[in-house]
Amino acid sequence: MSWTEHQALALGAAFDALDAAGIDLMVLRNHQGLPHVNRSKDVDLGLEKSEFPRAEQTISIALAKLGFDRLLVENFQYVRCLTFFGLFDNGAQSIKIDLLDGFVFRGAQVFAFQEIYAHAQRHGRFTIPSAADDAVMLWIKPLLTGGIVKSKYIADIQHVIETQPEAFRAILDRIFTAKEAERAWERLRIGDIEGTIPMQRALRRSAWWRAFKCHPAATLRASTLHLIYELARRGRRASATFLSVAGPDGV
């Protein structure tokens, strides 16, 4: 999806409408240049899950006025994905906005919205997380979910580690057990961010256990719901379609 003037105007209108509605939210990542430039394929908005319906309605009304009057909704366990479509003189255009309540991993609330919002800062027409919260999320989310560290974010993460080491380390102590927070920091503080990749399984267990210790009932309930959701999703998955093209060598 290319980012044109249509998307820029629509996103700006969405920000203004959400502000006028008094909905607390943040642009979670890749805020640089928004709404005029977007270096990502979508826009991630962090807000309380209870505010998802009101935010969706507010965004829908604002975007419909600018031609994005068709909406496709994909509802996942922790994310509500909104894709708006519109027909313009230069053809069909779309804009994708995802609503997230912080970062939840398999039922463990690693980052709660209110925790991030408490340290957030205003950036023009919208709010963004603190540099430390942003850097830790850029590191830990792809690591826990996919076992990777995104190379395009390494420089940003390293800059915050070097300029705000105490703030970065404090977040590690908040989301992990003491042992794993120390092990991760040993690698991060010397710039070996990719050296934390082999720690994925230990960090997953640590994040879950930390969340359980802080909120045992909520974590158990969310983890159980996560398991049920995943089993149901895999059980109703349609069989794959295979297409084979065969012929002699060189065909």
Q: Flag whether pLDDT at 46 surpasses 80.
A: yes
Q: How far apart are the first and last CA of the chain?
A: 35
Q: Report the pLDDT value the prediction gives residue 158, as an integer from 0 to 100.
A: 97
Give the integer Cα–Cα distance in Å for 25 and 117: 8
Residue 236 pLDDT class (50, 70, 90 cuts): confident
Comparing 104 with 234, the larger pLDDT belongs to 104
pTM for this entry: 0.82
The token duo for 219 is 């974590």
Averaged pLDDT of the chain: 92
Query: pLDDT (tens digit, 9 = 90+) per residue, 87-136?
Result: 998 889 999 999 999 899 989 999 999 999 999 999 999 999 999 999 99
Q: Report the pLDDT value the prediction gives residue 1, as an integer from 0 to 100.
A: 56
Burial of 24 (0-12, 13-18, 19+ CB in 10 A): middle
Residue 148 pLDDT class (50, 70, 90 cuts): very high
Give the integer Cα–Cα distance in Å for 127 and 15: 10
The token duo for 38 is 């977007």
Query: pLDDT (tens digit, 9 = 90+) per residue, 179-199?
Result: 999 999 999 999 999 999 999
Q: Report the pLDDT value the prediction gives residue 89, as an integer from 0 to 100.
A: 85
Q: Report the pLDDT value the prediction gives residue 245, as an integer from 0 to 100.
A: 80
